Structure 1
Amino acid sequence: MEKQKCECGHLNPYGTHLCESCGKPLEEKDKNATMVDMRYDGVARRSQTYNKKIVDRIWNFFSSVKIGISIIILILVTSSIGTIFPQEMYIPSNVSAAQHYENEYGIAGQVYYTLGFHNLYGSWWYMALIASLGISLIIASLDRVVPLYRVLKHQRVSRNEGFLSRQRMFGVSHSDDPEQTMTEAKQFFARKKYNIREENGSLLAEKNRFTRWGPYINHIGLIVFLTGCMLRFFPGMYVDDLVWVREGETEVIPGTDGEYFIENDEFFVDLYDENDEVFGPAMQRASGQTVETYQTNATLYQREEGGTVGAEPELNEVKSKEIEVNHPLRFNNFSLYQSDYKVNEFNKMSLSMTDRETDESIGTIEIDLFDPQAEYDLGDGYRVVIDSYFPNFEFDDEGEPSTVSDIPDNPAFIFQMFSPEHDEDGEYSFVGIQRNEDIFNENDYQMSFEGVETKDVTGLTVRKDLTLPFLIVGGSIFMIGLVQGSYWSHRRVWMRKFDNEIWIAGHTNKHWESLKKEFRALSKETKLDVPEDKQQLKAEEDEQSDGRDDVNGRN
């Protein structure tokens, strides 16, 4: 694009509205206007200059504020839709997501799953929206901040008459001693903490230029914050899981790739005493037991490097810790929080095979409800085979036995009992909690409940968040930019001598009343006329014109 040459001799990039050197309007609409548009000081932005190559079009697309707002609205809408039904992480883990959403929510749930809203925040297209917002913020900021920085950094003191007269606040004052008046004005602005520059009888007083960078610092903070949000979906950056560990058992810690294990040495719950003087009355009103604290005495282990594939891992003890609520076990960027528990969970069940006629016990078997054997040999030709096992028994919609989950909250079995009398086909029996039924005919033998062994189970939340520094830093930068751009305003005052006349013009990016107040204070000290606010005058003229039109209409 050809550069535009101003009368002052400065070459301006194509698309510049106001000369970067003297400020003279370059376009006809600005020359004929009462006020010039001082947004970005009239500099040429790349998005308004180039539009030939594919890179230019991509740049222009993402530099648009309308596109950025549209992306934000799209993210808000999709995020809202994602809260209509629970996300996949909150549904039961023992059923398929497609079946769950269809069964629970019908056609709406099926559509919800098909469109990918069940795992919204980890979906590729949601990540693409977040990335698009970040790209829009980067390009829109660069498109504006680079030329604005250049024009403010190298702005001249002496400005063109057309630039001064077309400012929103402009005035002309007569002075018998212009030099003395300019000196008094300079002293006034110095007391007000303005930066003052002089050139060829002209004066520029500038204050709080740093506030112009507030919105762009906001953008930097948002970009860092969005980066942290996206990093949560990268492996190893963020873990939020739950591990259940039974007393005396050891489980691998999720998110550690099998490197760390946790052992539940002991779990206990302390309840408030109903006879306590402080909490007793509240306990009685609550009509139930209230937990004072629950604690896991745990040991952390680390897998030894090497080892045989498929063999039990060799574990080295790292440390022991009493895990309580708000007192986690921390290691290698991980934290284990006490978050849930379950007391007296069924662990092992003892049953005996007895002769129904004589009630004589043939033998007793002990079943590990989490790892039952397929067959138990009682000797002398007697054996018991587990035909079917339902850890959490219920009947499905078709009336067939099924299980809700793998946790043995309501265990039930279909046994096949073999004896010398029934060596080939055996006898079938269904045994559950308070249930003992023959399946096909009257049995000679039955399985009788003898006892159950229980264990306490602790639920530990596993947390790892390497994205938190990004979120904190991004949020802090955003707040700095917000304060910087909200509580200060960039003010500039230009003064120029023409014989016995002094032209004065002012501009600020916000808080115009504060600038007017300083002009009134300047007028008291230097006897200069207070510059007129053209925008306010135009509004008053429009109001008077509307009033005359109303009177004429009534007449």
Structure 2
Amino acid sequence: MKKIVCDSCGHQNPEGTVLCQQCGKPIDQNQYIDGNENSKLINMRYEGSARRSKTHNKSIVDKTWNFFSSVKIGIWLISITIIASAVGTIFPQEMYIPPNVSASEHYRDQYGILGQIYYQLGFHNLYSSWWYMILIALIGISITIASIDRVVPLYKALNMQKPKRHESFLKRQRLFSSTEQVSEDDKQKAITTLKSIRYKVTEEDGHVLAEKGRFSRWGPYINHIGLIIFLLGCLFRFIPFMYIDEYVWVREGETVLIPGTEGLYYIENKDFILETYGDSPEDERFKEALQKQGGMVAKNYQTDAVIYKNTNPSALGLDPELEKFKEDSIRVNHPIKFDDFALYQSSYQQNEFESMSFKLHRTDDPEEESLGSFSVNLANPENEYILDNGTRVVIDQYFPDYYLDDGEPRSKSKYPRNPAYVFLVYPPGQDDYEISFAGIGRNVDPTGNNEFKLGLQDFEVRDVTGLSVRRDYTLPIISLGGLIFMIGVVQGMYWQHRRIWLHPKNNGLWIAAHTNKNWFGIKRDIEKVINDTNIKMVMDQEEDQNNYQPEEQTK
């Protein structure tokens, strides 16, 4: 890179430097604050140091760096992400809809054409979509590059703070005063006062730099570090090892594999308990409120569960060897926790059919005397049942959750909430069969000529509990990012980087001061420093130039 030599001290500065790193003299005397040509103040942003994005613009790496270091690009990326996130809240995400329904049908049936468009555009899984993750990653890249582009030159400049600065540097500070005659006692008194109000004082050849609160300059960059860690934690949620959020239905008396545990843990639902207000005498005080509610109000959802550990998870194709690991009750907001996993009570289904018993009798028998019976296990129905009299009954079609769609029998879900069957009945010793349709409250002879009839004899029901399975290794990372971000906020909000220069001039003294914010506060510090001395109070040159009007305009 081209070097710029300061004509005052001879220091070689990188191209793009505004203020000489050694003496502070403006490299270009026409450098003004925010491009305001009427300003006589120098630009102290990043201490006048050169930024890479302002000096490199040749290779593709330079152009990429410059693109992401732009604050405008960062704001656009954040704005797009916020808008996309807001769109994702218009309708519930797929993880929050009932797990036993088709997502495409749910959004269409519940929200109409808008829901269908919402689903087809992929907004139902917005926060796990590839393009949303790319947006998050781009924000992280933008924050990282923008921070490095600014923090490196700022760090170098702040580490080269010198008490002795060029006169043009001092005269063009916002706060400045010049006193023609100052005694050595007044000067020493000012230095002593600066030390007493916790300024770090450095002297060089009679020149003084008093500084405090430099660490506050790193507050925004601490914020950026916290944000980057926070975003990394969010991205880690898409790694299965780091974050698991699954759902499992467990029927009473059933033992099933817990999803996400890689075959290591199983759960048994010993009993599901639903308690409502009014079930016990002490709930009598809620009687009036319950009557106003007009229905049953749940007091407690509880699953009494046993967690088993598979002692041989690597044995593929073999039955798991289960060992009791933990037994506890799962209630709302009181999960059962084990080995970094947590099971939360999320839903339930009461009175789900477990088994149904059917009996066979002749159609013309008014007494409906049973010729044989069989029981269907709805969790695992068999294809064929042979009765005592030799009759074979074959399940031709099974509809766990029966409904009619344009006259065609279909099933809403795979769960046995309203089971119905199409049976093929083979009389003893015959190859011809009769068709019979049977279910809850229905028994249909499609031909009207059946010799035999199947009727529902009995059924058994059981409760089903819905549990959320979660493991979150990203929460500590996200929490750490949030904590670091708040440290940066406090660091940058409640402290300021204040600097006061004392410059001896003949028998007098110049005072110049700068702060990154809270100019009123540094003025009060200077008032304390010059109290009981003949040193003049500093003037705010920015206010003076704002009130200045050229002579042509005042006529």
| TM-score (normalised: structure 2) | 0.93
Is 1:522–1:528's contact at 8 Å kept on the other side of the alignment? no
Give per-residue Cα distances to partners, 1:489-520, cap 9 Å, x unaligned: 11101110111221111100011111122223
1:476 equivalent to 2:483? Answer: yes
SS at match of 1:243: strand
Structure 1 partner of 2:147 = 141
The partner residue of 2:192 within 178, 187, 209 is 187
User: In the TM superposition, what are the counterparts of 1:274-313 in structure 2 within 5 Å?
Assistant: 275-276=281-282, 277-305=284-312, 308-313=315-320
Which residue identity does 2:190 align to in structure 1? A
- Taking a change above 3 Å as real, the CA distance of residues 457 and 222 of structure 1, as seen in their structure-2 partners, is same
After TM superposition, give the deviation of residue 51 of structure 1 in Å.
Answer: 1.4
Distance in 1 (CA, whole Å) between partners of 2:393 and 2:140 is: 65
SS at match of 2:548: helix
Structure 2 partner of 1:270 = 275
Structure 1 partner of 2:177 = 171
The partner residue of 2:541 within 525, 534, 543 is 534
Give per-residue Cα distances to partners, 1:137-191, cap 9 Å, x unaligned: 11111111111111111211100000000001111112241x2221011011112
| TM-score (normalised: structure 1) | 0.93
The partner residue of 1:507 within 494, 508, 514 is 514
Structure 1 partner of 2:438 = 431
> What is the identity percentage for the equivalent residue pairs of Structure 1 and Structure 2?
49
Give per-residue Cα distances to partners, 1:372-397, cap 9 Å, x unaligned: 1111111333121111111111112x
After TM superposition, give the deviation of residue 73 of structure 1 in Å.
Answer: 0.8
The partner residue of 2:382 within 358, 373, 395 is 373
After TM superposition, give the deviation of residue 117 of structure 1 in Å.
Answer: 2.6
- Taking a change above 3 Å as real, the CA distance of residues 457 and 545 of structure 1, as seen in their structure-2 partners, is farther
1:338 equivalent to 2:349? Answer: no
Structure 2 partner of 1:395 = 404
After TM superposition, give the deviation of residue 102 of structure 1 in Å.
Answer: 6.0
Give per-residue Cα distances to partners, 1:314-359, cap 9 Å, x unaligned: 2122121222233322111101122322332211111111112122
Give per-residue Cα distances to partners, 1:104-163, cap 9 Å, x unaligned: 666655554454333221122211111111111111111111111111112111000000
Structure 1 partner of 2:4 = 4
Structure 2 partner of 1:225 = 230
Which residue identity does 1:17 align to in structure 2? V
After TM superposition, give the deviation of residue 471 of structure 1 in Å.
Answer: 0.8
Structure 1 partner of 2:14 = 13
Give per-residue Cα distances to partners, 1:51-87, cap 9 Å, x unaligned: 1222211111111111111110111122222233433
After TM superposition, give the deviation of residue 97 of structure 1 in Å.
Answer: 4.8
Structure 1 partner of 2:421 = 413
Is 2:312–2:320's contact at 8 Å kept on the other side of the alignment? no
Which region of structure 1 is more displaced relative to structure 2, 79-88 or 214-223?
79-88
- Taking a change above 3 Å as real, the CA distance of residues 180 and 169 of structure 1, as seen in their structure-2 partners, is same
Which residue identity does 1:117 align to in structure 2? F
Which residue identity does 1:480 align to in structure 2? I
Structure 2 partner of 1:521 = 528
- Taking a change above 3 Å as real, the CA distance of residues 239 and 143 of structure 1, as seen in their structure-2 partners, is same
After TM superposition, give the deviation of residue 545 of structure 1 in Å.
Answer: 9.2
1:243 equivalent to 2:244? Answer: no
Which region of structure 1 is more displaced relative to structure 2, 142-151 or 341-350?
341-350
After TM superposition, give the deviation of residue 20 of structure 1 in Å.
Answer: 0.7
SS at match of 1:137: helix
1:386 equivalent to 2:392? Answer: no
Distance in 2 (CA, whole Å) between partners of 1:283 and 1:68 is: 54
Distance in 1 (CA, whole Å) between partners of 2:399 and 2:483 is: 54
- Taking a change above 3 Å as real, the CA distance of residues 211 and 80 of structure 1, as seen in their structure-2 partners, is same
Flag structure 1 segments of 5+ consecutive residues without an equivalent: none
Which region of structure 1 is more displaced relative to structure 2, 133-142 or 372-381?
372-381
SS at match of 1:29: coil
Distance in 2 (CA, whole Å) between partners of 1:78 and 1:176 is: 64
Flag structure 2 segments of 5+ consecutive residues without an equivalent: none
Distance in 2 (CA, whole Å) between partners of 1:519 and 1:134 is: 41
Structure 2 partner of 1:356 = 363
Is 1:175–1:181's contact at 8 Å kept on the other side of the alignment? no
Which region of structure 1 is more displaced relative to structure 2, 425-434 or 267-276?
267-276
After TM superposition, give the deviation of residue 405 of structure 1 in Å.
Answer: 0.5
Distance in 2 (CA, whole Å) between partners of 1:297 and 1:247 is: 9
After TM superposition, give the deviation of residue 93 of structure 1 in Å.
Answer: 5.2
The partner residue of 1:324 within 331, 342, 363 is 331
- Taking a change above 3 Å as real, the CA distance of residues 280 and 96 of structure 1, as seen in their structure-2 partners, is closer
Is 2:264–2:313's contact at 8 Å kept on the other side of the alignment? no
Structure 2 partner of 1:459 = 466
Superposed CA RMSD in Å reads: 2.3
User: In the TM superposition, what are the counterparts of 1:38-77 in structure 2 within 5 Å?
Assistant: 38-77=44-83
- Taking a change above 3 Å as real, the CA distance of residues 108 and 273 of structure 1, as seen in their structure-2 partners, is closer
Aligned length: 545
